[in-house]
Structure formats: structure tokens, C-alpha cells
Chain A
Amino acid sequence: MIEGDRPIFLQIAEMIENDIVEGHLAADAQVPSTNEFAAHHRINPATAAKGINLLVDEGILYKKRGIGMFVAATARDALLAKRKARFVETYLEPMLAEARKLGISPAEVTAMITRADGAIAGRSGGRMES
């Protein structure tokens, strides 16, 4: 879904990134065209093109002239590395700020994480990723 508060081209780029990270778009898979993005999300095609070109500039997508845009072989690894690098900032810091507000100590947070992780692993049938 397109939201109101951030540039749409960034949101388009993030949607493609998510699809790559989650494996919906494999290496060398073709990405929908600018016009397909525009029609599907009801946005301006120039805006969709800007989002796609951002990923081309970052080497996540590559262009085949006259055919379309494709996922680079290294795209998923690059995106995973980028997201891991931001994990602390994006997820941990806001969580710890909230914990501090509520008077939960870092040790308690750690214990909660262990418990929650166990619960998630239990729900997903014992499959646990480390």
C-alpha cells in the first residue's frame, strides 16, 4: 500500500527490495514494468520509474535494453547486509527507548526476547532459524 508521508518512489523501491529479501523475486527474475507498477498502485509512471532507477543505481536491479529490469545476482545478499547493518537503529533502539520509559531493564528485555523467540519457534512447528 502507498502511504502518505514518504516519497512514493522510495516506497516503490522498498516494495521491490522486500520482494527480493523475502524471495518472491529471485536472482535474474524480471521486475514488473514501470507501467505495470503505475497501473497496479495507481501512481504516476514517472514516479514508479524513479523508484526502479534508484535500485538500478544501487546495483540491485539491472537493465536489459528493450526487455526490462531484472534482479541482480548479488541483490539479495546486498540487501540482507544493508538491513542487518540498520537492524540496531531501526528495531533495537526504539524498543529500548520504550522499555526505558516503562522501567523495563535491559536484562528483563533480554529475557523477554528469549521467551518470545521460543514462542514463535513453537508456533512455526519447531523450525527455528538462528
Chain B
Amino acid sequence: MTAPVVEISNLMKRYRDTSALDDVSLTLQENTLYGLLGRNGAGKTTLMSILTAQNFETSGTVRVFGKHPYENASVLSRMCFIRESQKYPDGFRPRHAFQAAAMFFPNWDQQLCDQLIHDFELPQDRTIKKLSRGQTSAVGVIIGLASRAEITFFDEPYLGLDAVARQIFYDRLLAEYSEFPRTIVLSSHLIDEVANLLEHVIVLDHGRVVMDADADEIRGTAFTLIGPGALVEEFIGGREVIHRETIGSFASVTVECPLSDLERREATELGLDVAPVSLQQLVVRRTAPDRPGRQGDSPADRMEVVR
């Protein structure tokens, strides 16, 4: 089986009176592709910065390859962190960035780097400052893939990349990961685009872990039932509601609870539509500010009317 490469327990990060990370405990296994999801300001970048020793925890324990990463060259050279807005020294051209990366990362693959430069049609001899937003992102993506680091963090790596370039990134990422397994943490807002690539999903909200599960376990754990309000409420009973919308006498209610084939058929026979909830919708529901309380707004009284 797999072994943990990152172990975090009770991690706190405070800036004055705000908590960027609030009691985070997580384990990352080797050779697994993680999605790190959540809204802006949820703590994703802070978490990745602490793991790569570019920021410090307020309290809690952080272990990467069994050691604390800070000033630990043997740990740092095994990790690659591609930031959303990576800054490069003035006058740096892509060529220079790749040369620097080749010196730093022991597993650097120059052939892959050259291939990716070609795939992304990246001009190598223009200063990075003069590149478009998408081309600057491509520099980061290329370094992240060609580094072949044992743990690679991609923090929103696709800013400015168009749909074609993003697809190239996803395809190369999968091919690389298949051929040279490693731990990859992909932080993304484009959840629908990356959902099928992920093996495990971690969702942060206001610095807390609100979801930490296998992607395939999450798939099919939530459903939206659509139909006449009274019938929908009757069917839902005591299930946990994560979203509720009504339009006239019609209701569309999202419940977090897998449905068996039998239950699904019962719903259909009642005349209800059962719609799947995508990972993106589920994350939105889990992290939206107006999420209904677990016990609040109970449908029990309305059920009495139906019966």
C-alpha cells in the first residue's frame, strides 16, 4: 500500500485576529493525485506555502517525508511548488527559469521540458515580463511537470491559459503521472474540468477541512430531487438537506445521502426527477455562505400535511 509523505496535525495559522488555517489535520499519501479545493481565502495557498517552508505555522505539527520542511534542503529539493502568480527575477527569460529549475530539481527531465515548450508554443528568449499571462502560466506548468518532484503543488496553475492549453496541461499531467507516479496536489477553481483527474479531494472552507475523501466515494453521495414540493419533502424525510429551492409548488432539494437503486426507483415512481450533483456543485453547496443548518428548516411538519 501507499505510505504517507505529508502528515499534518492540528495545524493553525493566524494573522493577527484572523485564522487562515484552523485546526487542520491531513495526511497525503505517496503517488496520489489530490484536488485541493475551496473558495478564495479558504487557506489553500497558505497550506501549500507552509508545506514548502515559504510560510510558518502558528502551531501544530507539519511533517514532510517525516521531517519539518523549514531549512531542510533534503526535503525541499524533493518538492515543487508552482504558485498562481510566480514572480521571476527581472530580465529572466523562460530559458533562465528552466536552467535554474534544472539545477535545483534532482529528477529534472530536460527532454520533457523541451517537449512541453513545443506543446505550449512558448517563446523561450523573450523576457518573462513581456510574456502574456497564459505564457507566464505555461512557464510554471512546464517547471512543475518537468521537475518530476516527489511532491508537486500546482496552485491555480492555469491563469490566462486558454481552453486548448488547459487541455494540454491536463493531458500531459495525466500522462506524466501515469508513467512516473508521484504525489500531486492540484488546487483549482475549475472543479468540473479537473474532477475526473482527481483521486482524492480535500476541501477547505474558512481554514477548516470540510471534505477529505476519495473522489469516487464522493461521486453519487448527493442527489437533487425535483418535483412537487410535498412529494419531494415526503421522500426526503430525515435525510440531510444541503440545498433547497422552491419555485411555486415545485421544489428542488439537494440531499447528501447515497440512494440505492430501489430508492431511486421509488423516487421515479413517485414522479420525482433524480439529478446527480457534480463535485463542483457539491463543493459550492458545502462552502456557500447560505448553507442551511443541519437540523434547521425541518420538513417534518410539512410531511404531516401530505399524509
B92 at the interface (CB under 8 A from A): no
Residue of A nearest to B223 (CB): A5
How many interface residues does A have (CB within 8 Å)?
24
What is the predominant secondary structure among interface residues of chain A facing chain B? helix
Q: Per a CB cutoff under 8 Å, which of A39, A42, A94 touches B265?
A: A94
Contact A2 B196 (CB under 8 A): yes
Residue of A nearest to B197 (CB): A44
Q: Which residues of A contact B276 (CB under 8 A)?
A: 3-6
Contact B199 A47 (CB under 8 A): yes
- Say how far A8's CB is from chain B's closest CB, in angstroms: 6
Bound Cα distance from A66 to B179, whole angstroms: 15
Of residues 152 through 204 on chain B, the ones whose CB sits less than 8 Å from some CB of chain A are 170-171, 174-175, 177-179, 195-199
Residue of B nearest to A46 (CB): B199
Q: Per a CB cutoff under 8 Å, which of A38, A45, A47 touches B216?
A: A47
How many interface residues does B have (CB within 8 Å)?
28
Bound Cα distance from A4 to B281, whole angstroms: 11
What is the predominant secondary structure among interface residues of chain B facing chain A? helix
Contact with B along A31-58 (1 / 0, CB 8 A): 0001100110111111100100000000
Contact B265 A45 (CB under 8 A): no
- Say how far B29's CB is from chain A's closest CB, in angstroms: 10
Q: Which residues of A contact B25 (CB under 8 A)?
A: none
Of residues 253 through 296 on chain B, the ones whose CB sits less than 8 Å from some CB of chain A are 265, 268-269, 271, 276-279
A14 at the interface (CB under 8 A from B): no
Q: Per a CB cutoff under 8 Å, which of B33, B271, B277 touches A44?
A: B33
A28 at the interface (CB under 8 A from B): no
Contact B178 A41 (CB under 8 A): no
Contact B178 A45 (CB under 8 A): yes
Contact B174 A6 (CB under 8 A): no
A97 at the interface (CB under 8 A from B): yes
Given contacts A4-B276, A94-B268, contact A9 B216 (CB under 8 A): yes
- Chain B residues at the A interface, C-beta cutoff of 8 Å: 32-33, 170-171, 174-175, 177-179, 195-199, 215-217, 219-220, 223, 265, 268-269, 271, 276-279
- Chain A residues at the B interface, C-beta cutoff of 8 Å: 2-9, 34-35, 38-39, 41-47, 50, 93-94, 97, 101
Given contacts A8-B215, A45-B174, 18 further A-B contacts (CB under 8 A): A4-B279, A5-B219, A5-B220, A6-B276, A34-B178, A35-B175, A39-B171, A39-B174, A42-B196, A43-B197, A44-B197, A44-B215, A47-B199, A47-B216, A50-B216, A93-B265, A94-B268, A97-B268
For the complex of A and B, list the 10 residue pairs with the smallest distance between their C-beta atoms, beginning with the closest.
Answer: A5-B276, A7-B216, A35-B178, A45-B178, A44-B199, A43-B196, A4-B278, A4-B276, A46-B199, A97-B269
